[in-house]
């Protein structure tokens, strides 16, 4: 049973790899960024509340994201495994997730830390050009990553759940490393 969390700075390849792997393993890819972007596009109450945070490169408040993730993890398709991409992004979210997974008997997850240097991720994101991919917003997302998300590396390392992969390789090389590490 594959239950994976993807961690890493913006642009490290979380979304890219999570999507590829989920397809290969035929399990759901749950991306909080994608769910938020869809909600913003449809102008749902969640999307309206989230918009200014995402546009500014800030994290959306925990309660909104946590409710969204809980709702998604309560769908029947997660029984065969899942990949969480972009959640948790803070220690408070990680604690919430751990309690939720234990309650749902869905624990045993592993955490993939996908890393790449700042210059590489900035160049990738500028090349993609999403609305929140301007240089100023990318710099803010990196600051938020270092302050809020990077502490999760120690958090999961201490719990013996952490696997680290070099994201500064071609997409195919990263996928190959991922498949090796998951199989081991």
Distance of alpha carbon 133 from alpha carbon 11, whole angstroms: 10
Distance of alpha carbon 43 from alpha carbon 112, whole angstroms: 32
**Residue 59 within binding range of ligand B4P, rule CB under 6 A:** yes
Helix (H) or strand (E) holding 153: helix 151-158
Distance of alpha carbon 34 from alpha carbon 12, whole angstroms: 16
Tell me the window of 8-16, 100-108, 158-166, 176-184 that interacts with ligand B4P (CB under 6 A): 8-16
Tell me the window of 22-30, 58-66, 70-78, 153-161 that interacts with ligand B4P (CB under 6 A): 58-66
Site map for ligand B4P, 119-158, x if CB under 6 A? -----xx--x------------x-----------------
Pick one of 36, 46, 73, 94: the residue that binds ligand B4P (CB under 6 A): 36
Contact 114, 8 (CB under 8 A): yes
Tell me the window of 94-102, 103-111, 151-159, 165-173 that interacts with ligand B4P (CB under 6 A): 165-173
Angle formed at CA 85 by CA 29 and CA 34, multiple of 5 degrees: 75
């Amino acid at each position: 049973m594959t239950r994976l969390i993807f961690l890493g700075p913006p642009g490290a390849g979380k979304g890219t790899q999570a999507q590829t792997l989920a397809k290969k393993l035929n399990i759901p890819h749950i991306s909080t960024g994608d769910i938020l972007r869809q909600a913003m596009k449809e102008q749902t109450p969640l999307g309206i509340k989230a918009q200014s945070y995402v546009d500014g490169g800030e994290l959306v408040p925990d309660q909104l994201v946590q409710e969204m993730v809980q709702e998604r993890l309560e769908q029947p398709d997660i029984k065969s495994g899942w990949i969480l991409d972009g959640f948790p992004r803070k220690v408070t979210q990680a604690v919430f997730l751990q309690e939720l997974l234990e309650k749902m008997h869905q624990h045993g997850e592993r955490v993939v830390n996908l890393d790449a240097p700042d210059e590489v991720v900035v160049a990738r994101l500028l090349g993609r050009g999403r609305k929140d991919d301007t240089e100023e917003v990318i710099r803010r997302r990196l600051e938020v990553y270092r302050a809020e998300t990077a502490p999760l590396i120690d958090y999961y390392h201490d719990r013996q759940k952490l696997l680290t992969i070099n994201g500064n390789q071609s997409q195919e090389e990263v996928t190959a490393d991922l498949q090796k590490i998951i199989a081991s």
